Structure 1
């Protein structure tokens, strides 16, 4: 069969089903983790986090071989983010894992490939996405912490399972024909048959190793003790990144925001609530700027920087707890613009008060109005660009690339540091000149970039 036919078949019958074993180790050994499946990791239990990560990675059907804690696991899935994929519960007392008929029944539920996983670890969505991309007809995939494979990615599972089992993650992808062949395998009582299947497949050269050490975004952290929990939490926080992130965001705001995010998670605040907290702090900053004194301007700049830090937290909490929503993303962007409008207006009014009676005391007000106009136009154009991107409506790749460049390198929170520096040196009027010119230039550039795509969109729909 040609590669093209193989890929076509795996697209249709690919990896869309996962089987979870929350009460036992995947390889038939005694459970390595002493941490229960409902243990909280950054606000969500291990079992719930596993299910939601699989759902976000494209798994469309879930089968749970549950033990005595089935009722608790079911309750856990009803709390927090909504699980939208179908979940089938198969109690171990009725479907023991050492009974070939259990796996024959499971094989009948699977087309193409299935993912088998315990819930004693935390893993990234890109890891599962990579597994879904890597499936090849008739081949099993094993996730390992470090490379123990030959250069072609093949591995001797007898060696791995006997000498390096600690290097294996609790995640395996199997072609459905291995499940169908379960009745042909002699299985010891109480043993999960994955070990036997992999040994047999390895002898036929049908096992591939996917390691997690070569890609920082494709990670797996086994949870065996409280220290592992802390490591998993650290990896989750390090994996946070917004789509549009500037230098200051990456190397300053994110460093501070993680501490606030932990506090917000402990308090149980929703992402939208955190957005409003950042907004209130930003409006307080604008009020300080409006008083017109040097000290108040410096305090306003510090509050504005704090608002920018807190503004990172809503997205972090949303991603950590799987509570992202289109409305939340829109509210975040809208409130950012409300704060920016207030900051421009506050600085302009404060400068006007400090220059009252002078010949050109109207200039700050004119600059503030221009900055506000530019910010409003920028908000409209960014909204439009994101809509075009979501609908794949860019007329050419060049327009898409320009829009991506503008959004990632210009539309960021980095200018909060610039505001602080201008306030520190007492030259906020210079900042207002730059803000007025810059916001108009950005808005005009974005409007020019999206204009051809906006005009061509009706024709594409037709």
Structure 2
């Protein structure tokens, strides 16, 4: 069992405008404590010990429900000394519960789960290893309150908030062996009850190593300003490497704004997928009506559907609701939506001119659309490994945007020809690249 201790006893006075209990503050749809636990689960932790204090009853209610939802053991330990702001007392409350190395976290710190995975994968770890941020100019850091670290030969020599010279910052992510409890007891007897006091005590004995997080995300939510910065960074990290140019610069900024609002509701990712699909269906019916005004409205609705289609995955990632079924369900609805939109455009032309040629063009447009989507997964995976991603990616975002432009300009024929030709050529190009990806020079 990979055990994790989380300190969640404090009041969080600097964040009172967001909530009276910091662990319960809602951050993009989840209480901070739930976000911390779910991140740790992604990192491989499967048993939790949460130290409570201020407003312990509502906190324990959230944790009990989370334990039921995840099927994992989440134990709560009340710290009667929680009003003593020295957080070492909270860590010491779990002394009799843990006899093996464990992960120690703060309930108000956000982090990339890969930090913990990489930290625990290190071999020959000393008694304590602290994940540190060596980006001295990190804009997420509030220098007046962050704990600073001085390092020599990959070992911590000094730790504290008032260091004048330092090499990095404490992220609040610790690998600890049970020796930390003995160090805390010794320090408390000297009226030094903070966790940093115990870390300094062990550092003086050359027993505290470091793990550099490099460019990985972390944030300490201390006040409204740090909350705002962390929120912005978390949303920015929802961008996908394989986003096409339209998705990256047009759709994604709008969908992120919408997803931020949706994260605070009970709307599920699958419900968002269904709504986006419904909007696309309405657009296809408007296309099929055969006149210009419905064509314009349909084009706008198609683009709206494309934007909203990004929200389901964003909300799923924000609220840890990702699932294989959800991704598959969204992909299936996208294929149906593509077929309906292109058939609506095909019927628009056919009903106005009656030419069978338009049915053939429409057939190849739908086929090209499907094949482009079918080849996307393998191609995108290869893009991450071999292929220069600075070139323009042709995908669904571009296809829908072309439909919008064509609808506004009343050039339905050009839309279908463009989709039929470009999408099939791109699908064939991908098949060639995927056969021998290392020779691709884009």
CA distance in 2, matches of 1:258, 1:33: 24
Partner of 1:132: 120
Q: How large is the Cα RMSD of the aligned pairs? A: 4.0
* Richer in helix (by share): 1
Partner of 2:280: 282
1:179-328 to 2 correspondence within 5 Å?
179=180, 181-182=182-183, 185-188=186-189, 192=193, 194-209=195-210, 215=215, 217-224=216-223, 226-242=224-240, 244-328=242-326
CA distance in 2, matches of 1:71, 1:418: 54
CA distance in 1, matches of 2:284, 2:326: 23
In the alignment, does 2:139 pair up with 1:141? no
CA contact 2:7–2:105 (8 Å) conserved in 1: yes
CA contact 1:121–1:220 (8 Å) conserved in 2: yes
Shift of 1:447: 6.7
CA contact 2:306–2:400 (8 Å) conserved in 1: yes
1:222-274: CA deviation from partner (whole Å, max 9, x where unpaired): 233x3333332222211112364111111111111122223323442111111
* Deviating more after overlay: 409-418 vs 89-98: 89-98
Shift of 1:90: 2.5
TM-score, normalising length: structure 1: 0.75
TM-score, normalising length: structure 2: 0.78
In the alignment, does 2:67 pair up with 1:54? no
1:46-445 to 2 correspondence within 5 Å?
46-67=32-53, 69-79=55-65, 82-93=69-80, 98=89, 102=93, 104-108=95-99, 110-111=100-101, 114-133=102-121, 136-138=124-126, 139-144=128-133, 147=136, 148-150=149-151, 153-158=154-159, 160-163=160-163, 168-169=169-170, 171-179=172-180, 181-182=182-183, 185-188=186-189, 192=193, 194-209=195-210, 215=215, 217-224=216-223, 226-242=224-240, 244-356=242-354, 361-378=355-372, 385=378, 409-443=393-427
* Deviating more after overlay: 200-209 vs 429-438: 200-209
Shift of 1:424: 3.4
Specify the SS of the correspondent of 2:397: coil
Specify the SS of the correspondent of 2:96: helix
Shift of 1:434: 2.6
CA distance in 2, matches of 1:165, 1:38: 35
Q: What are the ranges of 5 or more consecutive residues in structure 1 without an aligned counterpart? A: 1-12, 390-397, 453-462
Q: What are the ranges of 5 or more consecutive residues in structure 2 without an aligned counterpart? A: 137-148, 437-442
CA distance in 2, matches of 1:382, 1:208: 43
Specify the SS of the correspondent of 1:63: strand
Change in CA separation of 1:373 and 1:100 when aligned onto 2, cut-off 3 Å: closer
Specify the SS of the correspondent of 1:105: coil
CA distance in 1, matches of 2:163, 2:397: 50
CA distance in 1, matches of 2:193, 2:3: 18
CA contact 1:289–1:343 (8 Å) conserved in 2: yes
